[in-house]
Amino acid sequence: MIKDRFEKKIKLLQKEIVGAFLNDDPDLILLEDEWERPGGGGGFSNILSNGKYIEKGGVNISMVHGELPEEMKERLHAKSATFYASGISLVIHPLNPFVPTVHFNIRYFELYESDQMVDSWFGGGMDMTPYYIFEEDPIHFHQVLKSVCDQFNGEFYPTFKPKCDEYFYNAHRDEHRGVGGIFYDYLKGRPEFHLAFTSAVGDAFLKAYMPIFQKRKDNTYDEHHKEWQEIRRGRYVEFNLIHDRGTLFGLKTNGRTESILMSLPPTVRWVYNHHPAAGSAEAQLLKALKPRDWASENINL
């Protein structure tokens, strides 16, 4: 069954990704937490903290099922419906302000009526949120994502990249959260093909992010850089709590609050009406957050 194979994949990915970060950051503390969802199913959270390079992170997998909440029934035009959902979700908040925060997830959903599956789809994506801009970093990140998309369909990256720019957008700030990546949802039909593609997106995570992490993690920084990082983390929190569909779905389907809010950074600040100085490195970041065709540029990491 597709869902069994996908569950096996996300379990392997969790071990691989957590192992890579532990190997790179031996001071990192790993908390392993297995949990059950009251409505059905459960998951396994791997929480990373207090490392030399990672301030806080999490690599979580979940396999949940049960009654579909009324709000979700309306959105999906379902009547008497139950659901199954599984996925892996990752957020890494590095200590060093010169290392970007990264978010990644892939997921699979099945919808049932009268115990018969009536619909199923894949979704996923990966995006990066820098605090200081080094143009070669988003170029590398996007080129890896374009490469994996192009292996399956030449239209995937030109479709999923703009969807990511559109999705990770703080409309109340008129500001994009980061430099984007790819985002897709409701990939229906051709389950074998979409399972292979979504698995390949999972395999691309370490290729896309780890070279950036390793290159920037020992950069020298000071309190000014940390203050800016925390201001920008505030924007990250605003997006996750106001706009993110995954957060809202989890909270409204009796999901595990600790796992859902794992994505929030450990230290954040809001400074009233803050604007960086003109011409500063901080101002340069804000200019770089506009949608841009990073994958077509030629700077190498």
Beta bridge partners of 102: 92, 128
- Find the distance separating the first CA and the last CA of the chain, reported in whole Å: 40
25, 131 Cβ separation under 8 angstroms: no
Count of all residues that appear for the chain in the document: 301
Got the DSSP string for the chain?
-HHHHHHHHHHHHHHHHHHHHHHH-TT-EEEEEEEE-TTSEEEEEEEEES-SSEEEEEEEEEEEEEEPPHHHHHHHT-SS-EEEEEEEEEEEEESSTTSPEEEEEEEEEEEEETTEEEEEEEEEEEEEE-SS--THHHHHHHHHHHHHHHTT-TTHHHHHHHHHHHHSEETTTTEESSSEEEEEEEE-S-HHHHHHHHHHHHHHHHHHHHHHHHHHTT----HHHHHHHHHHHHHHHHHHHHT-HHHHHHHHTT--HHHHGGGS-SS----TT--PPTTSHHHHHHHHTS---GGG-----
CB atoms within 10 A of CB 294: 24
Catalytic residue among 65, 93, 103, 224: 103
170, 176 Cβ separation under 8 angstroms: yes
> Distance between CA 48 and CA 56 in Å, rounded?
6
Is 224 annotated in the active site? no
Retrieve residue 100's tokens: 């970007």
Backbone angles phi and psi of 221, in degrees to 5: -145, 165
Q: Which residues are catalytic?
A: 103
